Structure 1
């Protein structure tokens, strides 16, 4: 029999994984501390002792997401040899992952933002900064394509970045609303069909 007062032992990484999935599915506001402790298999004192607070737990969960399920964008931008290939892989890989059976739908960074009180402003800003970083990574990859000759001189990198970032976020919302694989593929097909027209646009003097 365990001694009274001894802290409950648990697998921290497994508990964090379960917290990540709950936050991903329900969002920051929708996952109460009681929900989290139930999913993680721990009690409230253990949660606070190990993770500090609900917000700190959320930040760790989002970091874990970025290292695992949310790493597809970074991989596509780093591994594909052309700018067009990187953008297409980013959209197709995420579109498939957003509706993967047995996992929460959509993108955690896009969908988990709180909508409640001003006390959650720091969480909103944390997620907004991650989205800004993803947008900057896409812009950097397109700028590399310009330097490599994949994109013609004068290509409006900002317009390309805005468009494909918006498509990516839209795919996440479509997935959360129940879109199937056919719909997701059709959206990506349409987005990539627009590539040549977008690349042909030039920055206005």
Structure 2
């Protein structure tokens, strides 16, 4: 081995490492996933892991943020829809699609996994996820308040109550996906919720 290559960290795909780490954290939580398990599963050395992420905690933090932020993006896109039922459909259906993406590119929903039963000294996972979910709920609530002001909600339906209901359905879908429910089953549930919401909480769109 030449002096120029001796000791040089092996190159690796950061996305591949994050996905592999996310799978382990999803299954075992932070405390239950050892550095040795990570390096063995990911096929990298401890020194390479530390050079890239600083520590196991640093890898965990980047993993959680990388995959959890996808759900914030779903909400941000959804609330731009003009039709309020389409807003809710995109929140639920797009999230189901994300929950059930091919395992080659997705570790499962970290929000309803072993990650949430664990914590680290560097990233308070529960607080981070709670803040993200509060942000998502607030974005949805703001959009539903707009719909209410425009006559899109039935009398007696408070935007706050409808937001709470939608978030409850969302969490149920997330939990069911982690228990092994397939995409078709989850989509059927999401679409049933949408029909109930359309019939009980929304007004029919006006014919312009």
Q: How does the TM-score come out when normalised to structure 1?
A: 0.77
Match among 182, 194, 200 for residue 197 of structure 1: 200
* Cα distance change, pair 10–183 in 1 and its aligned pair in 2 (3 A): closer
Q: Is 1:12 aligned to residue 1 of structure 2?
A: no
Higher relative contact order (CA 8 A, sep 6+): 2
Question: What is the aligned length?
Answer: 199
Give 2:206's aligned residue. Answer: none
Q: Which residue of 1 aligns with 2:75?
A: 73
Distance change (3 Å), C-alpha of 1:155 and 1:10:
same
Could you tell which deviates more after superposition, 154-163 or 99-108?
Answer: 99-108
Give the structure with the higher percent helix. 1
Distance in 1 of aligned mates of 2:114 and 2:142: 26
Structure 2 residue runs without a partner (length 5+): 204-208
| 1:55 has 2:57 as partner | yes
Greater shift, 123-132 or 15-24, is seen at 15-24
Structure 1 unaligned regions, length at least 5: 201-205
Q: Distance in 1 between matches of 2:123 and 2:71?
A: 25
The alignment yields a C-alpha RMSD, in angstroms, of: 3.1
Q: Indicate yes or no: 2:176 matched with 1:183.
A: no
Q: What is the Cα deviation at residue 134 of structure 1?
A: 1.8
Q: Kindly report which structure 2 residues correspond to 1:29-40, keeping only aligned pairs within 5 A, or say none.
A: 29-40=31-42
Give the deviation of 1:118 after TM superposition.
Answer: 7.7
Matched, 1:125 2:127: yes
Change in CA separation of 1:114 and 1:174 when aligned onto 2, cut-off 3 Å: closer
CA spacing shift, 1:43–1:177, aligned 2, 3 Å: same
